[in-house]
Amino acid sequence: MKIWIKLLVGAGLGIVFGTIAPETPEFTEALAWLERFVLNVGHYALVPVLFFSLAIGTYELRKDGRFWPMVLKNVLLIAAVSVFVIAVGVAAALFFSPDRIPIGAEEQIEAVTLDVSRGVMELFPLNMFGVLAGDGVFLLPFYVFAFFLGMGLSYDKNHTKPVIALVDSLSRVFFHIASFFIEILGFIIIVLSAYWAVAMREALRAEVFTQLIVMLGILAGVLGFVVLPLFLYLLKPKTNPWKTVYASLGPAITAFFSGDVNFSLPVMIRHAKESLGVRRRSAALTLAMFSTFCRAGSAMVAAVAFIVVFNSYTHIGITAPEVVSVVVQALIISFLLARHPGNGAYAALAIICLGFGGGFEGGYLILRPIAFYLIAIGTFLDVMIAFVANYAMARINGFTEDKEVRRYI
């Protein structure tokens, strides 16, 4: 059975179960614990496969003299995609503005930060091997370590040849280990979608969020499954973008129901390799860069949500300078969400509110009942952007092997 079919069936079963489940605190608490557990299972093999794949990929690209050109192309693509996605989302929010959301009693404002300074410090601990003691949430330190290891493998082939063979072998071994966990995601997604359905049931009961939920769902679907893939028509040699959409169904489902970019990374890696034929050296670098620095989907959702918050607090429409300010803030935040793989959109919204000031510091709290949905939509778009960009970058640089659609996993 295709992986996306397993995931779709599992998600459907979970939604049905979550819809008819009893509404008791004990059940909700048990389901929340189970959700955290299955998320851990999904993350279990992530760091080793990413670490060794990026290390050997860096070595191979550097050996061919293509590492830095690939990095530069990824940087330019990240910047272009981020500006485009955020601008489209803000324009849609201004044109199809949802109704105001009643302001309730605000809760205590939480201290939400990007932790940039802490993140920079973690990149270079006192002991290089100290990186390996990380919890696997903030992946950038692992990428930096893998980069230096890959660079070091080019030192002297007489000395590094055994190490190259070992790193290459470990990359393949951990890929197959990760593949096992991907095969059981059909069962894991039942728990995640059930938890999602319970939360959605409560959100829809409030009714005031319905328009925002529908608008974000349509916007994300059009962007993720139509607009972004259409850019693949610009590639040479020519390619069929709808094959990429079909290959992205598995990562899209896991992203939406997990709300966690890191959880979806192993699924993206496997689908890129076995469905789209993207070579390891290209996928490792592009997915690492996009999952870390291109969180445009989450930032776009945050910008749209902030406009709704603004309109809910005041009857005076948001001005053009304020719109530009929100877009710029969202754009900057999209590059700095690496420490928030599992709550990017809501964290970005909180940071925009806190930074905007003017009495909006606690505005994000009125959307707390649908925080799970904002995160789901943002993560879905983040993953779709990374997946499509991964294929585009590999296609441009000749790192793909065409495969028949019937052989897609």
Give the CATH number of the domain where residue 168 resides: 1.10.3860.10
**So what's the pLDDT on residue 109?**
67
Six token digits for residue 313: 């607090």
Burial of residue 348 (CB within 10 Å: 0-12, 13-18, 19+) is buried
> Comparing C-alpha atoms, which of 180, 262, 185, 197 is closest to residue 4?
185
Quick check: helix, strand or coil at residue 293?
helix
Distance, in Å, from the CA atom of 171 to the CA atom of 51, rounded to the nearest integer, reads 8
**So what's the pLDDT on residue 387?**
94
Burial of residue 25 (CB within 10 Å: 0-12, 13-18, 19+) is exposed
**So what's the pLDDT on residue 189?**
93
- Name the DSSP letter for residue 100: P
pLDDT 10s digits, 57-113: 999 999 888 999 999 999 999 999 999 999 999 999 888 888 788 776 555 666 677
The DSSP bridge partners found for residue 400 are 278
- Name the DSSP letter for residue 400: B
Distance, in Å, from the CA atom of 131 to the CA atom of 163, rounded to the nearest integer, reads 20
Global pTM reads 0.93
Dihedral in degrees, nearest 10, Cα atoms 273, 70, 168, 252:
-30
**So what's the pLDDT on residue 106?**
58
Domain count for the chain, please give it.
1
Q: Which residues of the chain have pLDDT under 70?
A: 104-111
Which residues constitute the domain of residue 76? 3-407
Distance, in Å, from the CA atom of 84 to the CA atom of 231, rounded to the nearest integer, reads 12
**So what's the pLDDT on residue 102?**
75
> Comparing C-alpha atoms, which of 242, 290, 251 is closest to residue 139?
290
